[in-house]
Amino acid sequence: MNIYDVSKKAGVSIATVSRVLNGNHNVSEKTRSKVISAMKELDYTPNIFARGLGLNTMKTIGIMCTDSSDTYLANAVYYVEQKLRSFGYDALLCCTGNDYINKKKYMSLLLSKRVDGIILIGSQFVNNSPGSDNSYIIDASSEIPIILVNGYLAGDNIYCVMCNDHDAVYNAASDMIKAGHRDFVYLYTSTSFSGMNKLRGFKDAMDEAGIHIDKDRFHLCTKSISKSNDYLSFIYEKNVPFDAILTSDDSLAVGAVKFAYKHGIKVPDELEIVGYNNSVLANCTEPELSSIDSKVEQLSSNAVDLLMEVLGGGSVSNINTVTADLIKRQTTKF
Amino acid sequence: MNIYDVSKKAGVSIATVSRVLNGNHNVSEKTRSKVISAMKELDYTPNIFARGLGLNTMKTIGIMCTDSSDTYLANAVYYVEQKLRSFGYDALLCCTGNDYINKKKYMSLLLSKRVDGIILIGSQFVNNSPGSDNSYIIDASSEIPIILVNGYLAGDNIYCVMCNDHDAVYNAASDMIKAGHRDFVYLYTSTSFSGMNKLRGFKDAMDEAGIHIDKDRFHLCTKSISKSNDYLSFIYEKNVPFDAILTSDDSLAVGAVKFAYKHGIKVPDELEIVGYNNSVLANCTEPELSSIDSKVEQLSSNAVDLLMEVLGGGSVSNINTVTADLIKRQTTKF
DNA sequence: TTGTACGCGTTATCAG
DNA sequence: CTGATAACGCGTACAA
């Protein structure tokens, strides 16, 4: 079942069938309808592989994400896929895990599949420490546009969609300071660009208020409820006083709520807690978590818009920023 | 950059290059290495579209899922993608939403992309009420194998991987009865095959113990923490007594925990709660949720194994069942 | 073991 | 407005 069968049935050439197929205007209404009914009768579907070969594109975008089962990333994948689809693009999903080797491998896999662009979801793909090797991304960008959702890497054909993480944490911390807090703890999960921005936001707010933060008070922590709980218990028993906790991820904030419960500390009266990402987890605890909404939907949507603009030949700014919101629930009272 | 360039550089024919490319053994070591170094020098990558055209496959599987941001479904998508990749297949992701029209549309979209098979993740694709129209699945199965993860539909080229939901709920309920409970509430989110099996498991356990369940005591509920909370408050204020809650989803069980907290009911002493899916949510509440682990990883893995077997021409049973486990945490004491 | 030649189903370029 | 024909790049009978 191909274009020849249709052309035969309709009594026209394959060129005409192709024209009808692609909505070309240089076809008389009469011929067009002849062709269309022939296609219907034969239940014809164009062969997308042949088209791909000719046009050298299958209108497919590669999505890389370290772990699509992570709540935040899963949401981003969801929104990106939906948006891509709305532009008629397919999404080829690659869950890479956090291994450098695998990220590299999947990148070249996607290139070999000749996708039209690649969207890297999450901050785990770029290593922003000085002297780090991000060449697998740079190299790929010489062939097709690369979009980073919530990550930053400079490059000609690399586009970054980010949340103003620094300001979000800075503002939340400043509000807490205004509300009278001095004894802070900051827990974070990642030293990615985004992770470091959040941390700097925290530190800047502290600096500005002249609050000294010793190293017990900011802690790099596995993204896990229990690890967060454990660490807080650890410094609590060391008699480090604190009445305000900020985190880079809701799971850590949930751990903080559980820590407070375990030790009979009243939230928010004796301890205020702010999470990050405004995920489902925020609604699960008692009291419910105040959390910074990092606008994953808008981030994802902008990422696809940007990519489409680039693919359409438009010239686009390499950096696009989205503003986070603090969603106040019951773990804060400021 | 194509196979001709390589053949020229290596001084062989394109057939030989192709043979090397595909690991064909009828090539002398000498020629092979000549070809390989030519490929390296030219940095040659085979054109996958051309290969797809000839072989009429791109080794791609369509994944349909109503909402990949749902915790359970996101996990399934993750595991399926990983497993597919391990067999050298790509995953084309389609988030359909719950609209029948869209499901149908995406199904034919995937068919038009000539994927080698389609995996439907989640129980929302089949309508198992009598006389329902599932023809979009049946029709698709006449072209390529369809795998249902956690769904059931009879058909020649349709394969179902399911959890023994009935027994899982039945066993949990029976255990609770043995522990002395008589006043049950069952909350569920879906009337899908899986959803009805769970409900029947609940009812069967009740029947067997001679416990009468009036219609207040099982309730179809939106998958939402607050809706569950609301409904329980509603019957509580109506003075329906209950000391045991089973749910078809962890989010509803979280709602139950919050309901108990709000009304000062002690969990598990005055009220035992069992969730379903053993998701991250189960670790968020205080006390932590006992939950039925529906083995999403094994389900996903089996789904891909099955599909690979079918694509390899093997003959496979149309139904594959996985056994759920109750994970006991702090909302139960039996 | 190697090479020639054709088929896969489109799209695009001409010529009419 | 329409048709013939050449790409597109690979796999593979078949021939040597």
- Per-domain residue ranges for chain A? 3-42, 60-163+296-324, 165-294
CA closest to B106 among chain A residues: A85
Per-residue confidence (pLDDT) for residue B1, from 0 to 100: 87
Per-residue confidence (pLDDT) for residue B128, from 0 to 100: 87
Burial class (CB in 10 A: 0-12, 13-18, 19+), A88: exposed
User: In this complex, is the C-beta atom of A212 within 8 Å of any C-beta atom belonging to chain B?
Assistant: no
A53 strand D contact, CB < 7 Å: yes
CA closest to B44 among chain A residues: A112
Residues A230, A259: Cα–Cα separation, whole Å: 8
Taking the CA atoms of chain A, what radius of gyration do you get in angstroms? 26
Point out which residues pair with A90 in neighbouring strands: A60
User: In this complex, is the C-beta atom of A235 within 8 Å of any C-beta atom belonging to chain B?
Assistant: no
**B48, B251, B283 ranked by CB distance to A225: nearest:** B283
Question: Hey, do B60-163+296-324 and B165-294 end up sharing a CATH topology, with the first three levels equal?
Answer: yes
Asked if the Cβ–Cβ distance from A91 to B90 is below 8 Å, we say no
Closest C-alpha to A93, from B239, B311, B68: B68
Write the single-letter amino acid at A27: V
Neighboring chain B residues of A50 at a CB cutoff of 8 Å: 53
Q: How far are the Cα atoms of A70, A276, A303, B77, B230 from residue A77, in angstroms, in the given order?
A: 10, 18, 11, 11, 31
State phi, psi for B207 to the nearest 5 degrees.
Answer: -55, -50
Helices and strands in chain A, H and E counts: 12, 12
CA-to-C1' span, B19 to C7 (A) = 18
Query: Residues B114, A46: contact at Cβ < 8 Å?
Result: no
* Mean pLDDT score, A56-76: 94
* Mean pLDDT score, A99-113: 96
Write the single-letter amino acid at B294: S
Distance from CA of A128 to the nearest CA of B (A): 27
Per-residue confidence (pLDDT) for residue B33, from 0 to 100: 93
Residues A166, A123: Cα–Cα separation, whole Å: 14
CA-to-C1' span, B20 to C3 (A) = 14
Going across the sheet that includes B290-293, the strands are B218-220, B184-188, B244-247, B272-276, B290-293, B325-327
Q: Return the CATH fold of B165-294.
A: Rossmann fold (3.40.50)
Distance from CA of B212 to the nearest CA of A (A): 32
SS3 percent helix, strand, coil of chain A, rounded to 5, is 45, 15, 40
Q: Note if the bond before B287 is cis, omega within 30 degrees.
A: yes
CA-to-C1' span, A102 to C2 (A) = 37
The chain-wide mean pLDDT, for chain A, equals 96
- Using the Cα atoms of residue B38, residue B43, residue B45 and residue B46 in order, give the sign of their dihedral: negative
User: In this complex, is the C-beta atom of B75 within 8 Å of any C-beta atom belonging to chain A?
Assistant: yes
The Cβ of residue B25 has, within 10 Å, a number of other Cβ atoms equal to: 6
User: In this complex, is the C-beta atom of B49 within 8 Å of any C-beta atom belonging to chain A?
Assistant: yes
pLDDT at A238 over 90: yes
Distance from CA of A171 to the nearest CA of B (A): 26
Neighboring chain A residues of B79 at a CB cutoff of 8 Å: 69
Per-residue confidence (pLDDT) for residue A130, from 0 to 100: 87
* Helix intervals (H) in B238-295: 250-262
* Mean pLDDT score, A106-132: 95
pLDDT at A69 over 90: no
Point out which residues pair with A186 in neighbouring strands: A218, A246
Query: What is the model's pTM?
Result: 0.96
Query: Residues A285, A92: contact at Cβ < 8 Å?
Result: no
CA closest to A282 among chain B residues: B284
Q: How far are the Cα atoms of A114, A244, B194, B306 from residue B300, in angstroms, in the given order?
A: 27, 42, 15, 10
Residues A121, A94: Cα–Cα separation, whole Å: 10
Point out which residues pair with A321 in neighbouring strands: A162
Point out which residues pair with A205 in neighbouring strands: none
Q: Six-digit token pair at A197?
A: 């921005």
pLDDT grade, residue A205 (50/70/90)?
very high
Residues 108 to 147 of B: which have CB under 8 A from any A CB? 111-114
Burial class (CB in 10 A: 0-12, 13-18, 19+), B270: exposed
Residues B331, B187: Cα–Cα separation, whole Å: 16
Q: Note if the bond before A46 is cis, omega within 30 degrees.
A: no
* Mean pLDDT score, A302-325: 96
Placement of tokens 């579209």 in the chain: B49
- Classify domain A60-163+296-324 at the CATH superfamily level: Response regulator (3.40.50.2300)
Residues A263, B300: Cα–Cα separation, whole Å: 40
Query: pLDDT 10s digit of each residue in chain B, 334 long?
Result: 899 999 999 999 999 999 999 998 889 999 999 999 999 999 999 999 999 999 999 999 999 999 988 899 999 999 999 999 999 999 999 999 999 999 999 999 999 999 999 999 999 999 988 888 999 999 999 999 999 999 999 999 999 999 999 999 999 999 999 999 999 999 999 999 999 999 999 999 999 999 999 999 999 999 999 999 999 999 999 999 999 999 999 999 999 999 999 999 999 999 999 999 999 999 999 999 999 999 999 999 999 999 999 999 999 999 999 999 999 999 999 8
Q: Does domain A3-42 have CATH number 1.10.260.40?
A: yes
pLDDT at A25 over 90: no
Residues A85, A74: Cα–Cα separation, whole Å: 17
Query: Residues B206, B266: contact at Cβ < 8 Å?
Result: no
B27 strand D contact, CB < 7 Å: no
Give the closest residue to D5 (Cα–C1′): A15
Per-residue confidence (pLDDT) for residue B26, from 0 to 100: 86
Q: How far are the Cα atoms of A251, A270, A285, A328, B125 from residue A282, in angstroms, in the given order?
A: 8, 19, 6, 10, 30
User: In this complex, is the C-beta atom of B45 within 8 Å of any C-beta atom belonging to chain A?
Assistant: yes
Q: Which residues contact A205 (CB under 8 A, 6 or more apart)?
A: A169, A170, A171, A173, A174, A177
Per-residue confidence (pLDDT) for residue A129, from 0 to 100: 87
Asked if the Cβ–Cβ distance from A82 to B95 is below 8 Å, we say yes
Point out which residues pair with A158 in neighbouring strands: A146
Taking the CA atoms of chain B, what radius of gyration do you get in angstroms? 26
A217 strand D contact, CB < 7 Å: no
Q: Which residues contact A110 (CB under 8 A, 6 or more apart)?
A: A62, A64, A92, A94, A118, A140
Per-residue confidence (pLDDT) for residue A186, from 0 to 100: 98
Neighboring chain A residues of B226 at a CB cutoff of 8 Å: 283
CA-to-C1' span, B50 to C8 (A) = 9
Asked if the Cβ–Cβ distance from A286 to B45 is below 8 Å, we say no
The Cβ of residue B76 has, within 10 Å, a number of other Cβ atoms equal to: 26
